[in-house]
Amino acid sequence: MSNFLYFHSPGDPFKPIVLAFHGTGGDEHQFTELLNDLAPGVGIFGVRGKVQEHGMNRYFARFAEGQLDFEDLAFRTQELADWLKTRPELENRETIALGYSNGANIAANLLLTNTFPLNKAILLRPMYLPTAIETLDLTGTTIQINAGEADPICPPEQSHQLAEKFTRANATVDLKMIGAGHNLTQADMIIIQQIVGDVLREG
């Protein structure tokens, strides 16, 4: 079994835990301080991607900016899912995936391949992925997609296509257009706070 570097803050074991996926160049701690500020006490499980691109951490390879290696994406998604299933920290916990850019893409592909159970997902600046969904049923899964209106890396039309794909798989999808580029803004922070905070109150 292939191991990943990770960070774990358990929070309340009877409430959902955030499975955090960083953007290119980030690590397992990218969302830790932010989540502690926005939702104090939340459980966090941050995972570092194993692929290196000029010294930057990623979850899967790409040929160039905006040109993803879909074969590597498939392999890395299965590798990650297999490892996550072995983690006792996630056993019997509802999970909220939180991913940014490259991290949003790996989280989206976990959903599209149904290789690891995710109850909710917050996908920040994701791209469209061609993963087949013919038999996929995401009924009961809630997915938040935040797209940058002027994003040169993950064009908003790709987020629209991804949202439509999840909708066809019966997920409940909310697509928000953020007045920004690829960078995250206060509007993103507010949405994260609302979703994670609501889950903590309900869990």
pLDDT tens digit sequence for 145-176: 999 999 999 999 999 999 999 999 999 999 99
Is 182 designated active site? Answer: yes
The answer to whether the beta carbons of residues 146 and 188 sit under 8 Å apart is: yes
The answer to whether the beta carbons of residues 93 and 130 sit under 8 Å apart is: no
The pLDDT of residue 67 is 85
Chunked into runs of 10 residues, the chain (203 residues) has average pLDDT values of 89 94 97 95 96 95 88 96 97 95 97 95 96 86 97 93 95 97 96 90 69
DSSP structural state of residue 91: T
Q: Which of 22, 151, 159, 188 is catalytic?
A: 151
The pLDDT of residue 143 is 98
Domain ranges in the chain?
6-202
The answer to whether the beta carbons of residues 31 and 44 sit under 8 Å apart is: yes
The pLDDT of residue 203 is 56
Q: Which of 8, 29, 160, 182 is catalytic?
A: 182
User: How many residues in total does the chain contain?
Assistant: 203
CA distance 114 to 117: 7
CA 136 to chain centre: 18
Alpha helices in the chain (DSSP H): 32-38, 70-84, 102-113, 156-168, 186-202
Q: Which of 65, 173, 197, 77 is nearest to 123 (CA)?
A: 173
What is the third-level CATH fold of 6-202? Rossmann fold (3.40.50)
User: pTM of the full predicted structure?
Assistant: 0.95
Q: Which of 101, 159, 188, 198 is catalytic?
A: 101
Indicate the angle between helix axes 70-84 and 102-113, nearest 10 degrees: 70
